[in-house]
Structure 1
């Protein structure tokens, strides 16, 4: 089993280091960690944010543990050389099409949400976002009209097979999260009352649902879904949606939870390969100071064990250790605490 470790920029190396310590503590037989350069760090060393050597490592490994990319020193580079191109390039080259972003409120942290504690405390959901289609990848441009005015345009489209494969990911996730003896719950979010793209999306979701009689499928327009995430987020279990809507709703869900420093994510291919990363950025303002909260990266490592390597029990152990650490009052500055990066890592290891 090989895991590529791409720490990246800013706080990336600091938080990734703690996740690696947790993985090593599990002493999994045959586990090998291989490091590679990405982002601004890679540009400074190799002249490109995603060097061929790094891409070769990614293809050789079973999964990728990713830190963060983003470096103010690279802000003036042309777009193709910006640090962020590393993550986009990996998604494209590795065929990562399904983004999984769980959001839950850990016990004792309800007051950190912008929502009322009793509302926030009910949040335990998973957003499944399609990554390779939609308006982000359609034809686009800016043209000049006959009267001299400029007009921007973007093509939104989905092919049936693109919807079908993300639908299967969503239904399987709902099956896996279902409580014993109960049906899974999957809410498909679209804008089928306005967009033909969304009508196709809804039609295909209904067709695929026939393969999953143990999952209850519901539909919701995206504007209502955004409202319901604030009004009653506890009603959701798994949400599956397109690239644009998923981008917006997953960020909204993260703020409902209360701290971006606790949120992990996975980007999966059609096989078992995946890229796992915290949703926060490189935070250059605190880089090198030992202040960053590593829990999101540690939880990303748990997702890696679950989805790419099949170690469910070990993933659950890590998640339980993080929850116990938080319940014991060991928190970083993002949660009003005074514990630094390494101290939080030590605490998680003790409870593991």
Structure 2
């Protein structure tokens, strides 16, 4: 049976990046001699800017809920069919976080330096980015929830992922970055219970303390940071600059769903947003989408060596200056993808380690 990958597309530059995904995935499948199906969601989901163009607050709330409900059904349906992964372009954050709360999602990113590695696990299932809004004259009340059960799931996932990331080594440091002082001591107790249950030491710290320690001491060789999105979302670009030497526009991340009904479904997304100001101009940077597609093809589409082939091709076209304007080039999105596909070579022609 051929593998099938889900595809969900948002407004802004989403349709353009969906074309990039389709083209690169098809090329990698052909190079590997496999067939990969794509199950595309029939709905084009809103960006924040497209929502605001639809009307006032009541209309925004209505469409936000419709997008969230539809995307949740799409994820559940694909998981039920055995689809291992979904590629999703940027979608309005409120809709996404409703789905992430319901499906208990975490976001995973690995940043490496020559001497250290950071596994960043972002808790998307609870906290101040999740929850519901209640409107009253001149005010919005937002209600959010933290729970022992979700906290334990997030910690257990992070520890399991760390073992996969460093199978031959112990983790040197495990830190949780949360505003735990606002939770009456509940999070302290839950984290202590998890640490005892798993036989590890976990340091629960305020976000500013985590920042200070990173500035003062840097990363241990193998560090795990489990973080609420209140810190991780803001700090991601700083962590990339300090420890990853990479631009957000060039990276993708994984969202892993922990709810048992969709367990195992992984959603890949670009780190950058919907870039509505670039919509239809054919100048959006396709690098993150290309890299996400390669990872999906290799991990879920039986395309061995896809990531290595794509990285080699990206390096080659970058050396020739084939770049979009945000990277200092003058090429269109389509031209960059055309050059990349022309550069890709069949697996048999690559020398190991090249």
TM-score (norm: length of structure 2): 0.70
Q: 1:101-146, CA deviations, whole angstroms, 9 ceiling, x for partnerless residues?
A: 34458xxxxxxxxxxxxxxx778533111112123446887999xx
Q: CA deviation at 1:239?
A: 1.6
2:315 is aligned, of 317, 320, 324, to: 324
Q: CA deviation at 1:311?
A: 5.5
Shift of the 274–334 alpha-carbon distance from structure 1 to 2, 3 Å rule, reads same
Shift of the 127–330 alpha-carbon distance from structure 1 to 2, 3 Å rule, reads farther
Could you tell me whether the CA contact under 8 Å between 2:21 and 2:293 is conserved in 1? yes
Shift of the 318–249 alpha-carbon distance from structure 1 to 2, 3 Å rule, reads farther
Within a 5 Å distance, the mapping from 1:110-189 to structure 2 comes to 125-137=118-130, 158-178=146-166, 181-189=168-176
1:6 aligns with 2:28: no
Q: CA deviation at 1:165?
A: 1.0
What is the match of residue 225 of structure 2? 239
Shift of the 142–7 alpha-carbon distance from structure 1 to 2, 3 Å rule, reads closer
CA distance in structure 2 between the aligned counterparts of 1:322 and 1:130, rounded to whole angstroms: 34
The CA RMSD measured in Å over matched residues stands at 4.0
What is the match of residue 23 of structure 1? 25
Q: CA deviation at 1:192?
A: 8.0
2:327 is aligned, of 320, 327, 335, to: 335
What is the match of residue 38 of structure 1? 44
What is the match of residue 200 of structure 1? 189
CA distance in structure 1 between the aligned counterparts of 2:233 and 2:68, rounded to whole angstroms: 27
**Match of 1:292, SS?**
coil
**Match of 1:38, SS?**
strand
1:222 is aligned, of 192, 197, 207, to: 207
Shift of the 266–12 alpha-carbon distance from structure 1 to 2, 3 Å rule, reads same
CA distance in structure 2 between the aligned counterparts of 1:268 and 1:170, rounded to whole angstroms: 11
Q: CA deviation at 1:338?
A: 2.9
CA distance in structure 2 between the aligned counterparts of 1:23 and 1:304, rounded to whole angstroms: 8
Shift of the 171–339 alpha-carbon distance from structure 1 to 2, 3 Å rule, reads farther
1:299 aligns with 2:291: yes
Aligned residues: 310
What is the match of residue 88 of structure 2? 66
Shift of the 55–159 alpha-carbon distance from structure 1 to 2, 3 Å rule, reads closer
Shift of the 19–193 alpha-carbon distance from structure 1 to 2, 3 Å rule, reads closer
**Match of 1:132, SS?**
coil
CA distance in structure 2 between the aligned counterparts of 1:189 and 1:254, rounded to whole angstroms: 18
Shift of the 200–16 alpha-carbon distance from structure 1 to 2, 3 Å rule, reads farther
CA distance in structure 1 between the aligned counterparts of 2:10 and 2:116, rounded to whole angstroms: 31
Could you tell me whether the CA contact under 8 Å between 2:7 and 2:40 is conserved in 1? yes
CA distance in structure 1 between the aligned counterparts of 2:86 and 2:208, rounded to whole angstroms: 34
Could you tell me whether the CA contact under 8 Å between 1:174 and 1:185 is conserved in 2? no
**Match of 1:331, SS?**
coil
Could you tell me whether the CA contact under 8 Å between 1:186 and 1:238 is conserved in 2? yes
Could you tell me whether the CA contact under 8 Å between 2:17 and 2:286 is conserved in 1? yes
CA distance in structure 2 between the aligned counterparts of 1:142 and 1:60, rounded to whole angstroms: 32
